[in-house]
Amino acid sequence: MSNYKFLAKDYEALNPKEVIFKQDNFFKDIIDRYSIKTCLDCSCGTGWHLSMLDELGLKCYGSDLSPEMLQ
Ligand SMILES: C[S@@+](CC[C@H](N)C(=O)[O-])C[C@H]1O[C@@H](n2cnc3c(N)ncnc32)[C@H](O)[C@@H]1O
C-alpha cells in the first residue's frame, strides 16, 4: 500500500501550485534545448507538473499509482 493514500489530503499544502510553477524556467530551458513536444509523468500525483508543462506548450499525459493523489 502506498503512503500517498494517507498523504494525499495534505500533499497540496506541502507542494502547492505556486511552488511547482516556480520551476518553469528550468523546464523551459530543457524543452527548448531538446525541442520536446510531449511528456509522460509516470508519477504525476496531483498533476501540477503536468499543468505547468501544459502551459509551456507540451502535450501532456500522466499516470499514478495512487487514486487518492489523482483525485
Ligand atoms: C512526489 S509525488 C508526485 C509529484 C508530481 N510530479 C507533482 O507534480 O505533484 C510522487 C508520486 O509517485 C507516485 N508513485 C509512487 N510509486 C509509484 C509507482 N510504482 N507507480 C506509479 N506512481 C507511483 C505516488 O503515488 C505519488 O503521487
Q: Which residues line ligand 1 (CB under 6 A)?
A: 2, 4, 15, 20, 41-46, 48-49, 64-66, 69
CATH top-level class of 4-70: alpha beta
Kindly report, residue by residue over 3-40, the tens digit of the pLDDT: 888 898 899 899 999 999 999 999 999 999 999 999 99
Pocket test for ligand 1, best of 65, 68, 70, 71 (most atoms within 8 A of CB): 65
How many Å apart are CA 10 and CA 28, to the nearest integer? 28
pLDDT on residue 9: 86
Delimit the domains of the chain by residue range: 4-70
**Quick one: CA dihedral 9, 71, 40, 58, positive or negative?**
negative
CB neighbours of 20 closer than 8 A, spacing ≥ 6? 48, 49, 51, 52
Q: Report pLDDT digits (tens) over 31-70.
A: 999 999 999 999 999 999 999 999 999 999 999 999 999 9
d(Cα 48, Cα 44) in Å, to the nearest integer? 8
How many angstroms separate the alpha carbon of residue 69 from the centre of ligand 1? Answer: 8
